[in-house]
C-alpha cells in the first residue's frame, strides 16, 4: 500500500500504531472500501 500511496505523492499523517491497526483491519476484512478511502483522506497530506 505504501508504494501505491508514494506513487501518487500521498503521505500518511498517523502514528505507527494507528497505521498498524489500519492495515490489520484491512487484512481482517473489517473495513469496507469506502471506510479505507475515508481513512486515507483523513490521514494524508
Determine the pLDDT at residue 40: 94
Domain count, the chain: 1
All cell numbers assigned to 23: 492495515
- Element (DSSP H or E) covering residue 41: helix 33-42
Q: Which residue has the cell 499523517?
A: 13
CA-CA distance, 45 to 40, in Å (whole number)?
9
pLDDT less than 70: residues of the chain:
none
CA-CA distance, 37 to 33, in Å (whole number)?
6
Determine the pLDDT at residue 43: 95
Q: Which residue has the cell 471506510?
A: 35
Whole-structure pTM value? 0.81
All cell numbers assigned to 31: 473495513
Domain that holds residue 33: 2-42
Amino acid at each position: 500500500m505504501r508504494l501505491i500511496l508514494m506513487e501518487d505523492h500521498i503521505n500518511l499523517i498517523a502514528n505507527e500504531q494507528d497505521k498498524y491497526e489500519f492495515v490489520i483491519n484491512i487484512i481482517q476484512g473489517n473495513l469496507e472500501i469506502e471506510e479505507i478511502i475515508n481513512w486515507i483522506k483523513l490521514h494524508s497530506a
